[in-house]
Amino acid sequence: MKKRVEHHVKLIGRALVPSTTATSRAFDGLPQGTVLRIHILKPRRKKAHRLFFATIAAACKIWPEHTEPNPDGDPEHLRAWLLCKAGACEWIDFPVEATNAVNNLLARIKADDKYPFVKTVTTKEGPMLRVYTALSMSEEAMDEDDFAPVRRRCFDTIQAITGVSVEDFRRAALGDHYGEQEEAGYAI
């Protein structure tokens, strides 16, 4: 199988134009009229991406005690749980009696600096222990089209649990600069 090479282009009018020297060189070798198969990834909106992490950090500071999860001041723990809650996760099921296997898996996941979450679920096979882990949020794994609905579901969960809206978190973080940032497109 041929190795995939990533190239970056800009959309100018209706034309895709190379935006890097490497892409320009790759295009130079192609005959005019060559049809290319492309996979379009929309870059994330940087301001919305920063707002996502800032909101989680702020929510972590006021997260109600005795509320699932207990992030214990760790925004990464809360982020992983929010991603799982939003459906951006993978899971594996174990029979309820397989606690040793579950504990071994949890230890391996934690050793990889990830946050596993366990929930008892009922499946057609009966009660199971479901171990969840959050999916990667890297730009390669989640472009803007994939990230936006996950971000929205995470924000909705934060508001439902803390009672504080993302707008309120943003206002608190930006203070007197709120109006300027709003005009500059610092949108959710």
Tens of pLDDT along 154-171? 999 999 999 999 989 888
Q: What is the pLDDT of residues 2-27, one digit of tens each?
A: 566 778 788 888 888 888 888 888 88
8 A C-beta contact, residue 70 and residue 58 = no
> What is the rounded radius of gyration, in angstroms, for the C-alpha atoms of the chain?
22
Considering only residues 89 and 17, tell me which one the structure prediction assigns the higher pLDDT: 89
Residue 133: which of 153, 157, 110 has the closest Cα? Answer: 110
pTM: 0.74
Q: What is the pLDDT of residue 42?
A: 78
Q: Name the 3-class secondary structure at 105.
A: helix
pLDDT at 183: 47
Q: Which two tokens stand for residue 81?
A: 């749980």
